[in-house]
Amino acid sequence: LVAFVLYLFFLVMPLGQALHAYTQLQTGLGALQRMHDILDVPAEQDAGTAAVTSGPVAVAFDGVTFAYAGAAQPVVRDVSFAVAYGTRTALVGPSGAGKSTLLQLVERFYDVTDGTVRVAGVDVRDLPRQVLRAQLGYVEQEAPVLAGTLRDNLRLAAPAATDAQMLEVLDAVNLADVVDRAPEGLGAQVGEGGVLLSGGERQRLAIARTLLAAPPILLLDEPTSNLDARNEVALRQAIDTVAHNRTMIVVAHRLSTVVDADQIVVMEGGRVVATGRHADLLETSDLYRELATNQLLVA
Ligand code: ATP
């Protein structure tokens, strides 16, 4: 019946409209599937009742191995490292090394196959989901920007935020000019999926949104794409501002994000192959030296 109704629907619509409707349907279904993937977690995954502790370690990976469901090989293998509060850790490595997957294990989009991920001293599986989420701000590479105004997008993270607070975070991520150039200010439309903004501006809007929610720990997947010089500088400054006095794990594709990191974790084939600071790793890790020579932009 549904197919028949859809058939009739498409039959009576002009082709252009039908194609547009079809595209929207596909987009909608994609979003729905994603939401379903996130919401459709087994009940026991939410069974944690532990409270966060107040030790010095924000995030710890301990012997973490992970394979995607149905995959023959793990994409993360026996990974161990710790991230202290107030420090910046950069994850670097070739495409497919498992860097983004590590962030998703902290967020608990997936559960480890072996080992433990701890946030604020507690196994993430033992924390109620809302307690875990309150600890974390996650900015994906293609961070979603919704049709609507700048204000709408910022309010997603902090419904009670004032205009003054919004302008402050937009300034922190170098987006003040986006507000200035629009007569509507914070009421400026960003377009469907944020098309009226550049890719770099979209990511910085997502960072601003996360800043408003002020989570203790930031997980950032830096965009791989080549940004123009202006956006490049704006992103670096935004990350520096955001990282100041905060805990951050960043999947880094730019040398400028890495050189000042307190800890750099070099990954290859799912494993940690070296850890250290920039100057040390240049001496001790052939892979790091190679990545750094190429300015790190892989994938
Ligand atoms: P990049 O720098 O290209 O983003 P990465 O180091 O972040 O790479 P991941 O995105 O963590 O690497 O991917 C690690 C491996 O896991 C890759 O081989 C990738 O193809 C695979 N992978 C990623 N997501 C999924 C998924 N949802 N299902 C199955 N395999 C996946």
Distance from Cα 96 to the centre of ligand 1, integer Å: 5
Distance from Cα 101 to the centre of ligand 1, integer Å: 6
Distance from Cα 218 to the centre of ligand 1, integer Å: 20
103 Cβ closer than 6 Å to some ligand 1 atom:
no
Give the model's pLDDT for residue 181. 85
109 Cβ closer than 6 Å to some ligand 1 atom:
no
| Residue 5 in tokens | 């109704």
270 Cβ closer than 6 Å to some ligand 1 atom:
no
What pTM did the predictor assign?
0.80
| Ligand 1 binding pocket mutation candidate from 66, 77, 95, 105 (most atoms within 8 A of CB) | 95
Q: Which atom of ligand 1 is nearest to the CA of 299?
A: 3
74 Cβ closer than 6 Å to some ligand 1 atom:
no
- Pick the residue whose CA is nearest to atom 26 on ligand 1: 68
- Pick the residue whose CA is nearest to atom 1 on ligand 1: 95
Report the distance separating Cα 226 and Cα 50, nearest Å.
42
Query: pLDDT tens for residues 1-30?
Result: 555 555 555 455 544 444 444 444 444 444
Distance of CA 196 to the CA centre of its chain: 21
Residues of the chain with confidence (pLDDT) below 50? 10, 14-44
Length of the chain: 299
- Pick the residue whose CA is nearest to atom 15 on ligand 1: 96
What end-to-end distance do the CA atoms of the chain give, in Å? 45
Distance from Cα 21 to the centre of ligand 1, integer Å: 32
93 Cβ closer than 6 Å to some ligand 1 atom:
yes
The complex scores an ipTM of 0.95
- Cα 143 to Cα 69, 137, 221: the distances in Å are 24, 12, 9
Give the model's pLDDT for residue 15. 46
Report the distance separating Cα 74 and Cα 63, nearest Å.
13
SS3 state at 66? strand
Residues 140, 137, 46: CA angle, nearest 5 degrees: 100
Give the active site residue among 168, 222, 232, 268: 222
Q: Measuring CA to CA, which residue among 186, 226, 184, 189 is closest to residue 208?
A: 186
Distance from Cα 67 to the centre of ligand 1, integer Å: 10
Give the model's pLDDT for residue 3. 58
Cβ atoms 257, 264 nearer than 8 A: no
Report the distance separating Cα 56 and Cα 87, nearest Å.
11
| Residue 93 in tokens | 């490595």
Give the model's pLDDT for residue 192. 86
Handedness of CA 45, 206, 202, 23 (dihedral sign): positive
Report the distance separating Cα 246 and Cα 267, nearest Å.
23
Q: Which atom of ligand 1 is nearest to the CA of 91?
A: 6
- Concerning whether 283 is annotated as a catalytic residue, the answer is no
Distance of CA 275 to the CA centre of its chain: 22
94 Cβ closer than 6 Å to some ligand 1 atom:
no
SS3 state at 138? strand
